[in-house]
Amino acid sequence: MNKTKLFWSILCMSMFSVGFAQSEQDSIKVEALDEVFLTDSRFALKRENSGKVITKITSEDLEKLQGQSIAEILGRTVGIEVNGVRSNAGQNLSYFVRGGRNRQVLIMIDGIQVTDPSQIANDYDLRLLNADQVESIEILKGAASTLYGTGAATAVINIKLKEASQKAFNLNLRSTLGTNQSSDENNYAIEDFRNSVSVNGSVGNFNYLASFGQQFTDGLSAIDGGTESDAFNSYNTNIKLGYKFSNAFKVSAYASLDDYKADFDDSFGRMDADNTSFSKQYRIGLSPEFKYNNGSVRVNAAFNDVEREIESSFPSMFNAQSVIIDAFNRYNFNDKFYTVIGINYQDNQMESFNIPFGETDFSQAIDPETAQFTITDPYANVVYISDFGLNVNAGLRLNNHSEYGSHLVYNLNPSYKFDVDFGYVKALTSYSTAFITPSLFQLFEPSFGNADLEPEENQTIEVGAEVAITGKATFSLVYYNRNEDNFIDFVDTGNFVFQYQNIDESFTASGLEFVVQAQLLDDLDLNMNATYTNLDEDLSLRIPEIKVNARLDYALCETTQFSLSYQYNDEREDLVFNTDTFENEAVTLDAFGLLDFYVSHKILKGKMTVFANVTNIFNEDYQELFGFSTRGRGASLGFNLNL
């Protein structure tokens, strides 16, 4: 079947099934709370007044996904492919959103940008984050550089960590045991251990939270067919403190330490090897907020330090530091005009060490005095919400980069909401520009770096519609077209010499994103999304043309929940390095589908929840990355205790 027809067939069947379910339950009255978003405007706006289709993963959703990593959860949302989540636990992760790469996706934690200046793509490594510490996630797709700066070209993923409870003392314990094996194994040994503990509470004007998480996963080789397993071991510590001085002024502070150790194999020779990757991240931050009549001033300040080490045939060490200060004033004129005026400052630097050929000791490869840049961005954004259905979100940002001077980006996002008998219909469109600054590695690495690189530039057009049936269902369909200029690629300049260079030609990515959330029956909910991606050949690496995710949630009673999830990934193209010709060769990875089952049951008067997962129920054998292992059928059992 033609893949475009397949996408539209999925869309039509979904709408038909929800329409049928609605006719069967018209007499059921469902009270739905207004969903609100923050990421697209920094104000809490109702979904119907937002000019974007934002994916929100709530705490209730996360409860139904216990035992999964944040990367796995994100990979089930519309328009996102996180490559590496179905493989060995220590596998490197690639974030593909709307045909983009890691460097075009900005990840934020509690509204603060998190990056690793030592990475090739300047990206944050989601393997450092513990899912048990997360309260909710908002995903804003499309160019968002006006509010969030460099890197926010295809998506902003805003991860909100858990807050202190209102009780004086609250204890939360969570533990999961599971299997971890390939599809050709059947021993089902317990090889996956995940544990977390959190204490938190509020005493008067003071609140606190301290959490610790641990994961140890073994049993699966990184390389396909490997005989030695490659373990992944991580630890996470997080402390948050807050004090409310008055109704107008409060301060919160946090500190975290996250680290992991990941064994990996020889990817070039595709054979077992005793290689290990270490990564450690320290984060501290301070966020004071002052509220005044109709407005507030907030400062988010953070320091991030990352240390990475690679033990392999090519040993190396990386250190990186970044300082981020984002100060902004929010003002609500009259519940029709919302304005944000702010300034964002970033200071990034890195250094690296390797062992030169023929020597035995490390020497500095990248000097932090050279590999450093600062960014100072003033920005402004305004939201207008009319009485007659028109909503407008618009903004400007002037990027001032120490290497590249000034660069203006902007966003215009009008939408119109029509109130109808059954709910509302919303039409939306947007035009946004973005930039992606080259990483310090791309600029200053002595063998491959290129100090003459220019920033990448993106322009994105979106057109879409959203239909809401009050208390029953929400549908959305969005078309996007994104153009890339100054694309940075790793280029063979001849004689086996490679360098990062800007490509003269422009590239285009376009596609459709369809989402439906519906209450099919009184106790049966459907969450489904389908993505169609059309890319220039140079952008299509490992990105499926068609991807479908679906989840049915059934409440057997107040204490017992069931979920059945399915994911379909279309064929993808991958590249394989041929050690004989020293060239990359294209291979096609077959399509695959995965079916998962989840059940949870509350006991001890709701204070304790036990849950179980069965993943890849049919034990499908497939490839996510050519030459690397993937997980076969798996089972896990866990509990969550809240006192």
Percent of the chain with pLDDT over 90: 63
Burial letters 414-426, b for 16+ CB under 10 A, else e: bbbbeeeeebbbb
Mean pLDDT for the stretch of residues 614-642 = 93
In the predicted structure, residue 10 carries a pLDDT above the cut 90: no
105-109 vs 190-203, strand pairing mode: unpaired
Residue 499 to residue 104: CA distance in whole angstroms: 20
DSSP string, 362-424: -EEEE-TTTSEEEEEEEEEEEEEE-SSSEEEEEEEEEEEETTTEEEEEEEEEEEEEEEETTEE
How many independent structural domains does the chain possess?
1
In the predicted structure, residue 25 carries a pLDDT above the cut 80: no
Mean pLDDT for the stretch of residues 461-489 = 93
User: What does residue 87 show for φ and ψ, rounded to 5 degrees?
Assistant: -105, -160
Of the pLDDT bands very low, low, confident and very high (cuts 50, 70, 90), residue 11 is: low
pLDDT number for residue 496: 72
Amino acid 14 reads S
The SS3 assignment for 19 reads helix
Which token pair is 595? Answer: 């079916």
Q: How far is CA 587 from CA 183, 408, 502, 571, 626, in A?
A: 22, 40, 25, 10, 8
User: What does residue 113 show for φ and ψ, rounded to 5 degrees?
Assistant: -60, 135
In the predicted structure, residue 487 carries a pLDDT above the cut 70: yes
pLDDT number for residue 3: 60
Domain range enclosing 23 = 3-642
Mean pLDDT for the stretch of residues 496-509 = 88
Give residue-wise pLDDT tens across range 292-328: 999 999 999 999 999 999 999 889 999 999 999 999 9
Which token pair is 170? Answer: 């609250």
Q: Which residues contact 116 (CB under 8 A, 6 or more apart)?
A: 122, 123, 124, 125, 281, 306, 308, 320
pLDDT number for residue 30: 34
CATH number at residue 63: 2.40.170.20
Which token pair is 303? Answer: 């320091």
Give residue-wise pLDDT tens across range 229-261: 999 999 999 999 999 999 999 999 999 999 999
Q: How far is CA 80 from CA 3, 137, 252, in A?
A: 18, 14, 32
pLDDT number for residue 63: 84
Torsion, Cα 483 509 117 131, to 10 degrees, reads 140
Mean pLDDT for the stretch of residues 6-32 = 46
Give residue-wise pLDDT tens across range 52-97: 888 889 888 888 888 788 999 999 999 999 999 999 999 999 999 9
Q: Please give the helix or strand (H or E) that residue 3 lies within, else none.
A: helix 3-24
In the predicted structure, residue 360 carries a pLDDT above the cut 90: no
pTM for the predicted model, two decimal places: 0.90
Mean pLDDT for the stretch of residues 556-567 = 93
Number of CB atoms found within 10 A of residue 562's CB: 17
Mean pLDDT for the stretch of residues 603-621 = 92
pLDDT number for residue 24: 42
pLDDT number for residue 586: 84
In the predicted structure, residue 17 carries a pLDDT above the cut 70: no
Closest CA to 29 of 524, 471, 423, 419: 471
User: What does residue 579 show for φ and ψ, rounded to 5 degrees?
Assistant: -70, -15
